[in-house]
Each structure stands twice: as structure tokens, then as C-alpha cells.
Amino acid sequence: MSELHKRIRKTSLHTRIMSPEDTIPFFRNGMDLGWSGFTPVGYPKVVPAALADYVEKNNLQGKMRFNLFIGASIGAEIEDRWASLLMTDKRWPYQTGKVVQKQVNNGTVRMGDKHLSVYAQDLAYGFYTKERGGGFDLGLIEASGITEEGHIILGGSIGCATEVIQHSDKLIIEINTAIPSFEGIHDIVMTERPPYKKPYLISRVDDRIGSPYVPCDPDKILAIVESRLPDKGRALSDPDETSEQIAAHILDFFQFEVKAGRLPKNLLPLQSGVGNIANAVVGGMVKGPFSNVKVWTEVIQDTMLDFFDSGKLDFASSTSLSLSEQGFKRLYDNWDFYVQKVVLRPMQISNNPEPIRRLGVIAMNTPVEFDIYGHANSTLVGGTRMINGIGGSGDFLRNAYLSIMHTPSTRPSKTDPTGITCVVPMAPHVDHTEHDLDVLVTEQGLADLRGLSPQERAKTIISKCVHPDYKPLMQEYYERARRECCELNVGHEPHLLFKVFKMQQHLAEKGTMKIDNWN
């Protein structure tokens, strides 16, 4: 018996095994498609590639377009290829890829962006496909197996695959035999509708409240296709000096909070976002003084494996194993060690405010920029150009015990190595308000904003976080805004509204945000 047949334990479904090309007649222009996948792990690979081949071969670019609803990003080899063939019409809620980003920003792809926990529940409520009464025409799911009852055993991510399976009219299942069966690592709870939703009774990171598979009506399964393609996980570069300085500030802050009695010696459960700074912070924890640590997050990156190996990380809950290809090799080579320390949950649970608040999660995420009053922008460069999406950062930051955002104080422009300041007078787009953030960090220092008024926050952020190249400009802006607004009795959060974006204008015209003055 082949490995594929072994993975499909409901033997009556063996008759639905077919090639990727055989699934093409199931697709029609304009369909609402739900996919599995989360930061690019656990996404369908062979069926989308076969459909793209069909569109390209038959010159159907722009004639077969689909509305895609996925947990987060998927592999760029699928995302960008579909976009380049004009196959993506609508895309929710998060994407990565140069082609799809360009199309989002020129209007070719209609992208929506929402907090991931809310997005997942709204999928179940039918809000995104309300014209057809909710749900999806077709769901594409990568799985690692199917049970005797026809239930779905997912792979290295869950995301919103639970909602897709539950609310798709029909399903195509890719069984990936290049990965081990992930049976037992998942904790599945299906989304319920109000007004009688049950609470998520999670009081420990390692609590389990659901089942190891996603319930599925096997009659919904149109096709089962074998995949042997590994996930195209993103490799992260080694932490640079700036990232390590940021991590050091955060670790010092944790030690101060422990001494003050506001954190236990093993801290509280950690959440860390995606990217090199987040990786550096976790890397700092590997070398740091804290042990018996737990993690409640949405992605587990490569340095989490180092954290486990150090013996300092006891357990991690996530919705995705967002590892590089080398990270997955480490995982599979030491499978029995790692899987007993990890649970994967639907993002409706991993990102839900209820357990985040109950557990007292410490949230750490990277913005595009933040301003002198503590508002942060995670999504739109210059206030208009979409990068990826808000992802789950807002789910955690608004509900965490401690909400921390970290970024370099500057980034290079094309002509100036410190041409872009990441601390601005006023964020041109706000994803996280001053009410949601406790601590802001750059390599320059850490600003603890708890209990501070807006003007106290501004003084602290300028003093602690701004790069020396911009500190005089920021100080001048704040003092002038404070003086002019307070004279008019409008100075609670003073701004010079007709000058506040002068630095962004100067960047567009001169290639740097270093203006001469605020006149």
C-alpha cells in the first residue's frame, strides 16, 4: 500500500484520489475560494500550480479570477504566480510577494485587512461572502492525513483552515506525503455563532480543549491529490547589531519588572511576531537569565527551536510552525522531542483576546513606524502603500499584559543610510493607538509609557527612542506644537497639522526625512 493510501484511513475515499490536472474542471471564474495556510506553511501547492499552468497554457489570463480567503500569507511561488496571471481578484487578509503587493497597490487586487481573530470568526459568520449567503464555493486544504471517519488531520499550520473546512460547499484535499503525519499536535475547536458561544477554558499554555482533527463531512470531498512539495519557509538572516541592541533593552526591562514584582521569575507567556527583530529577541532569551518560560503566540520561528534546545522554553502554543526549510529539517530530525512541547490551534483561538488576557501574554511586534505620542503603523508605508497587512499584531497588543513594539530608529533611503526615521511626529496611518501600547523600543533605548500623559509620552519617546540625527528636529517640533496649541487651549496632544507630514514630503522630493526646519 502506498504512503498516500495509508494516510487516507477512510478507505472509501480512495476512489476520489486524482491528479492535480483532473481537478481543473471544478474551478469556475469568480469563485470564492477558502485555502489553508499560514505564513507560508500548510498551504495547497500542487492544485494551485496545475490551475496556473492551465490558465497560462490556454491564454486565460484575466478570464479565470478568484476571491481568495486564506489564514495569512502563503508561498510566494503560488501567490505571485497567481497574481501575475491575473487570477487573484480579491485577497484577504494578509499577503507577501512583490507581484501581489504591486497589484494590491495599483488596484488590480482588492485586498482587505483585519485582525486575524476577528477575520476568522467573521469567515464563519459569512460576512465576506454575504452575496452568496456566506461560505465558500470550494475549499483547498493541505493535510497530513484523513481519519477513519473522514476527518482532516492538518499539517504544520491551522490558521483558518477550520472555518474553510466547515463552511465550504466542496473540498479538495492535498495530502502531503513529504511531511510526517501531524496527528496529535493540533487542538481543534470549531467556531460557534452567538449568542451562546462557549468560553475557551484555557488557563495554562499547555491546556487542551478540543480534538486532534477537524470534523469534516466526507461527502464534501470532491478530490484528494497527493503532494510531495515541502513548505517554502522563509529563512531569516542572522541578527544584526541593531536587532541585538533592541533585544538587550527588552531583556533588561524584563529583569527590572521581575525585581519590581510585576513579573514572575519565569516571566509570563511570550508572544513574538514575524521577522528578524522578533527572532533576535527570542535569540536573546536563549542566552538570557529566564527559564521555565512558556510561549503563547501565532508563529514559531527557527530560534524557538534554539529556545527549546536550551532547556529554558517549556512549552509553546501557536497556529503555525513558521520555520525555514532548514528549520523544518531540524524539526523532523528531532520530531519526538519537539512535538511533545508544542500545540497548534486555530487562529480564532491562538489570537483570541480571551486567553491572551487570561494568561497575561507579553506581546512583542514590529511596526513600520510609531509617533511621539505612541500611535503605531504596521501596514501602510507613507500612509497609503500596503505592505503585508496587520496580521495578528493587534489581537495581541490590545489585549496583552504588556504590549511592546520594537523597531530600528531609522531605515536607509536610496541616498541616505539614516534617511527614514521610524519615529515620526504623527503616524500617517494608525493600526495601534496610544491606548493599546505600553512600551516602545529602538536600538537607542526603551520608552516605558505606562501611566504617562500624552505630553509625558512625547518627551519620553523623543528622549529614549529617536535617532540622534533626528532628535533635535523632533524636539523642535514637539516644543513648537506644545507652545502654539497650549496658547489656544487645544494642547492635550499638540500637533502642527499643516506641517506634521513635512518630513514625508521631503523624503519623496529629496530622498531623506532630514528637513532643515519646520517653517
Q: How far apart are CA 154 and CA 156, in angstroms?
A: 7
81-108 burial, b if ≥16 CB within 10 A, otherwise e?
bbbbbbbbbbbbbbbbbebbbebbbeeb
| Cell numbers that stand for 48 in this block | 494551485
504 contacts 371 by C-beta, under 8 angstroms = no
Strands 110-111 and 88-92: parallel
- C-alpha 27/C-alpha 325 separation (Å) is 31
Catalytic positions are 298
The H or E element containing residue 64 is none
SS (H, E, C) 325-338: HHHHHHHHHCHHHH
Strands (E), 256-305: 270-272, 293-296
The radius of gyration computed from the CA coordinates of the chain, to the nearest angstrom, equals: 24
Residue 26, helix vs strand vs coil = helix
SS3 373: coil
Q: Angle at Cα 76 formed by Cα 173 and Cα 421, nearest 5°? A: 140
* Interatomic CA distance for residues 179 and 41, integer angstroms: 12
- What percent of the residues of the chain are helix, what percent strand, and what percent coil, each to the nearest 5? 35, 20, 45
Closest CA to 171 of 33, 307, 302, 49: 33
**416-431 burial: b if 16+ Cβ within 10 Å, else e:** bebbbbbbbbbbbbbb
Cα–Cα distance measured from residue 513 to residue 511, given in angstroms and rounded to the nearest whole number: 7
Nearest to 319 by CA among 274, 285, 277: 274
d(CA 104, CA 111): 6
> What is d(CA 217, CA 173) in angstroms, rounded to the nearest whole number?
13
Question: Cα(144)–Cα(297) distance, rounded to whole angstroms?
Answer: 23
Alpha-carbon distances, residue 198 vs 189, 190, 344, 354, 453 (angstroms) = 11, 11, 20, 11, 38
Question: Own/partner pairs for 101-104, CB < 8 Å, 24+ apart?
Answer: 101/386, 101/387, 101/388, 104/386
Q: What is the DSSP letter of 274?
A: S
DSSP secondary structure letter of residue 92: E
Max Cα distance, the chain (Å)? 83
